[in-house]
Amino acid sequence: MPDVMSQQEDEKRLIQRAYRQLLRTIKNPDEQDSVNIRNAYELAVKAHSEQRRKSGEPYILHPIEVARICAEELGLGPTAVVCALLHDVVEDTNVTLTELENTFGERITRIVDGLTKLDSSYNAESPQAENFKKVLSTLVEDVRVVLIKMADRLHNMRTLGSMPRHKQLKIAAETSYIYAPLAHRLGLYAVKTEFQDLCMKITDPEPYFEIAKKLQETKKERERYINEFIKPVSKQLDDFNIPYEIFGRPKSIYSIWNKIKTKQVPFEEIYDLFAVRIILDVEKSREKSICWQVYSVVTDVYKPIPERLKDWVTTPKSNGYESLHTTVIGPGGQFVEVQIRTVRMNEIAERGFAAHWKYKGLSDGPDVYEVWLDGVRDLLDNSNSDALEFLSDFKTNLFNEEVYVYTPKGDMKMLPKGATALDFAFSIHTDIGYHCTAVKVNNRQVPLGYKLKNGDQISVQTSKNQKPNESWLKLVVTGKARSKVRSAMKEERRRQGILGKEALERKFRNMKVDFDFSVEALVKHYNYASHVDLYYDLATDEVQIGDLLKPFQASNNRLVLIPPKKEEDPPQEEKPPSDRAARKRQKAHKPKLLVGGEPADNYSYSFASCCNPVQGDSIFAFLTMNSGLKIHRSNCPNATHLMANYGYRIMKAEWGGTTNTTFVADLKITGIDAGPGMIQRLSHEISTNLGLNIRAFNIGGDAGYFEGRISLLVQNTDQLNQVIRTLKNLDNVSTVSRID
């Protein structure tokens, strides 16, 4: 008993210490703010008193930490802190929204409601998509909903270690699929970078820890180099009499890994492992000229690489990011990226949307976030699609960079990168989109699917006789255009389907059956998505009424299925012994797998061809609609999409033991084409020296360079890694990598 009391006292002190730390991060709260924060804290402590996190610690530490991240790392104010403290009380405890409104008022209650998951989404096709759509619909009213959601996800990702592996993968996939791109779109670079690193730590732990270790090992050498680089630049900047800061920052583990994969080079050959950042403290009116003067100083000291100059000071990125980037050749011929920005630019770069309000009205031109939010509103207003379609449109449209194009009168329009001429027509007006027959770009006629480029001037020709058709869905990418084309298609199907509906009504009148009930029976039996689709198929002679009604009969004014005739079961044929032996052999050679802790043989399962898992890979099982379970690698190219959209269909899978089963693995090999004999050397090494079977071998060469793809049969990842190491050591072979 004393031990329990002692533990309770320790936890109480821990909670109070976390709360005091939170209070220290809140800048200048007024009296009402302080009262609200205290009330929110006390209510949350009481509501979550019986709850614990997976790690065993008191649950209340989570909302306190989310509130601290909001205040300290995102720079949000007292209202966001109150909402962060309360963000789980309605969802996880008996506290109601009415109680919150009585204590804290309507605004705080509305934000907390936006942060509360939908109760009804458990039976939706994708609960994650439904809930994300709800969050987004609240974002257009109050952006703090999404920013608090970011802080919540950030703390969950930082403390994911105590969760089971399959749940870690699901949460990481959702973070990578939705939250990291959204953080980027809102200009939260620090949050985006941490999300990417934390996701990589879960999905690809081996390269993550390998790069982290090498970064640590090279830290002193890197710091020495940065100091050597900075010294002559600082000397010249001192003469400017402008307050400045200059320092080196290592690139994120994820971005280094991306470079290693993209450039197919080892860690040691990645030069830009860090960037040098120069931050200047000057007033807004002098920012641009001072940044360019500092650029001049840097390029006087070190030779620049002209094609690597990026000017986001003159034209900021569409998410508000402003900075001047250049790459120069530093001491020892090493490439060094230099970022030049002001204190204001740096705060917006680090905190994005959260810092935006502080500087609102200071920038020239349209407000980038307002333009972006208008796009979100547009997507929500026009969305009669399901949540998965909405999420797909949202990712396509609102995570992309923009292109800036012009009307014939010179008005600028901003559309997502990849938008087409037809998207432009819909962006002007829905009717112009519906009746668009041709488009001219810079006075030259282009196809409707032409992808817009910055600076294009566009004019649209229309005709009242023109109307959307099915092929238009392949020509548009913006949410507004896709939604309008889908609506037009549905309306056209509905209009054409009237004839089919009338024919069905006549038939059911003759059969003396209830129309509504009988149509419902047909739709359900034949798996039609809607009544409209059934009527459309009848109107276009895709199906005949007689064929549809064959398995049905009229009974009590209703259409019911004809019961199957009872037949005696035919005697079971005795399978020849050879068949049984073959099945036994087949089962013996099947890899031992566990799904959800049970033998996988209890399920119908197969290995996914998109990633070809090999024994030893980290894997998961995905329940398909009609092909049983598919076993995927955890870092499969499709894993993020599946886990983020269909998390409830993901099952834990693991290898149950070693077997003699072989698995397909595909390798990509590149190198210097040293003439005839390369194919023979590679196949000799694999078949003769390593004793493995080659299923397929493709190789091609150009200008002294070759690229080959080899499909092998291996028993496990150890054997596969041995193949990769062996082939890498061959003369003239540059890279060997497994194809995802």
- The rounded Cα 425 to chain-centroid distance in angstroms is 29
Whether 400 and 313 map to the same domain: the answer is no
Question: Residue 8: what pLDDT?
Answer: 78
| HEC assignment per residue over 513-535 | CCHHHHHHHHHHHCCCCCHHHHH
**Lowest model confidence (mean pLDDT) among 568-577, 603-612, 682-691:** 568-577
Higher pLDDT, 416 or 710: 710
Active-site residue, 370 included: no
Condensed to tens digits (0 to 9), the pLDDT of residues 648-688 reads 788 888 887 766 778 888 898 888 876 677 778 888 888 88
- DSSP class of residue 251? P
Per-residue confidence (pLDDT) for residue 439, from 0 to 100: 94
pLDDT tens-digit readout, 142-201 = 778 888 988 999 999 999 888 888 888 888 888 888 888 888 878 788 899 999 999 999
> Which residues make Cβ contacts (< 8 Å) with residue 36, sequence separation at least 6?
78, 79, 82, 104, 108
Mean pLDDT check: name the lowest of 59-68, 183-192, 529-538, 654-663: 654-663
396 and 445 share one domain? yes
Identify whether the C-beta of residue 180 lies closer than 8 Å to the C-beta of residue 196.
Answer: yes
320 and 399 in a single domain? The answer is: no
Sign of the alpha-carbon dihedral angle for 446, 451, 454, 459: positive
Q: Which helix (H) or strand (E) holds 127?
A: helix 127-139
Q: What is the pLDDT of residues 279-288, one digit of tens each?
A: 999 998 899 9
User: For 394, how many CA atoms within 13 A lie in the half-sphere containing its CB?
Assistant: 27
Residues 498 and 480 in one domain: no
The model's pTM is 0.70
Residue 330 CB: number of other CB atoms within 10 A?
A: 20
Most distant CA atoms of the chain, gap in Å: 101
**Does some domain include residue 386?**
yes
Secondary structure of residue 335 in the 3-state scheme? strand
By the 8 A CB rule, do 319 and 186 touch? yes
SS3 category, 179: helix
Most confidently modeled range among 337-346, 534-543, 607-616: 337-346
pLDDT band at 582 (very low <50, low <70, confident <90, very high): very low
Helix (H) or strand (E) holding 63: helix 61-68
- CATH code for the domain in which residue 294 is found: 3.30.460.10
**Numbers of helices and strands, H then E, in the chain:** 30, 23
Q: Which long-range contacts (CB under 8 A, 24 or more apart) does 238-241 make?
A: 240/293, 240/294, 240/297
Annotated catalytic residue 702? no
Handedness of CA 454, 458, 463, 464 (dihedral sign): positive
Domain check: are 351 and 381 in the same one?
A: no
The pLDDT value recorded for residue 9 is 82
The pLDDT score that the predictor gives to residue 585 is 42
Domain boundary among 433, 468, 487: 487
Q: How confident is the model at residue 590 (pLDDT cuts 50, 70, 90)?
A: low
Question: Residue 629: inside a domain, yes or no?
Answer: no
* Structural domain total, the chain: 5
Q: Per-residue confidence at 382, pLDDT binned at 50, 70, 90?
A: low
Which of 537, 561, 585 is where one domain is finished? 561
Catalytic residue among 9, 42, 91, 401: 91
8 Å CB contact between 244 and 281: yes
Q: What is the pLDDT of residues 289-302, one digit of tens each?
A: 999 999 999 999 99
CATH no. for residue 170?
1.10.3210.10
Roughly what angle, to the nearest 10 degrees, separates helices 165-174 and 144-158?
A: 150
- Least Cα distance to 555 among 521, 582, 589 occurs for 521
- Does 120 have pLDDT greater than 80? no
473: in domain: yes
Select which of 92, 350, 374, 386 is catalytic.
92
* Pair 22, 68: CB distance under 8 Å: yes
Q: What number is the average pLDDT over the span 412-419?
A: 82
How far from 206 is each of 263, 320, 620, CA to CA, in Å?
19, 35, 18
Residue 652 CB burial class (10 angstroms; 0-12, 13-18, ≥19) = middle
Q: What span, in angstroms and rounded, lies between the C-alpha atoms of 342 and 280?
A: 4
- Average pLDDT in the chain: 83
Does residue 407 carry a pLDDT above 80? Answer: yes
Measured between alpha carbons, how far is 59 from 62 in angstroms, rounded to an integer? 6
Q: What CATH number is associated with residue 403?
A: 3.10.20.30
Q: Are 412 and 337 in a shared domain?
A: no
| Helix, strand, coil percent values for the chain (each to nearest 5) | 55, 15, 30
What's the confidence (pLDDT) of residue 381? 62
pLDDT > 90 in the chain, percent: 25
Whole-angstrom Cα Rg for the chain = 31
Q: Within this chain, do residues 35 and 126 fall inside the same structural domain, yes or no?
A: yes
CB distance 449 to 441 below 8 Å: no
Closest CA to 536 of 489, 473, 483: 489
Contact 738, 665 (CB under 8 A): yes
Nearest to 732 by CA among 704, 699, 698: 704
The CATH number for 697's domain is: 3.30.70.260
Residue 53, both tokens: 């996190």
Picking from 464, 487, 510, the residue at the C-terminal end of a domain is: 487
pLDDT at 491: 82
Strand 458-462 versus strand 552-555 pairing type: unpaired
Higher-confidence position of 59 and 398: 59
CB contact set of 472 (below 8 Å; sequence gap of 6+): 422, 448, 485
Residues 482 and 500 in one domain: no
Q: What digits encode the pLDDT tens for the residues 82-119?
A: 999 999 988 888 888 888 999 999 889 988 888 876 54
CB environment 342-354: b (16+ within 10 A), e (fewer): bebbbbbbbbbbb
Phi, psi of 454 (to 5 degrees): -55, 135
Residue 123 binned pLDDT confidence (cut-offs 50, 70, 90):
very low
Residue that wins the pLDDT comparison between 467 and 358: 467
Give the per-residue pLDDT at 482: 83
Q: Are residues 110 and 63 in the same domain?
A: yes
Specify whether the backbone of 657 is left (phi greater than 0), alpha (psi in -120 to 50) or beta. left
Assess if residue 648 is contained within a domain.
no
d(CA 621, CA 40): 41
Q: Is 421 inside any structural domain?
A: yes
Mean pLDDT for the stretch of residues 223-232: 93
C-beta of residue 244 within 8 angstroms of C-beta of residue 305: no
In 10 A of CB 226, how many CB atoms? 20
Share of the chain above pLDDT 70, in %: 85
Residue range 305-323: average pLDDT? Answer: 85
- 39 with 170, same domain: the answer is yes
The answer on pLDDT for 270 being more than 90 is no
Report whether 71 contacts 22 (CB < 8 A): yes
Domain of residue 420: give its range: 368-487
Q: What is the pLDDT of residue 563?
A: 78
* 153 lies in the same domain as 95: yes
Number of other residues whose CB lies within 10 A of the CB of residue 420: 24
Q: Give me the pLDDT at residue 581, please.
A: 44
Q: Is the dihedral of CA 387, 388, 393, 398 positive or negative?
A: positive
Quick check: is 606 in a domain? no
Q: Quick count: other Cβ atoms within 10 Å of Cβ 627?
A: 11
Q: Is pLDDT at 37 greater than 90 in this prediction?
A: yes
Report the amino acid identity of residue 712.
L
Residue 631 in domain: no
Tell whether 640 is covered by a domain.
no
395 lies in the same domain as 440: yes
pLDDT value of residue 374: 66
User: What is the rounded distance in angstroms from the CA atom of residue 682 to the CA atom of residue 690?
Assistant: 11
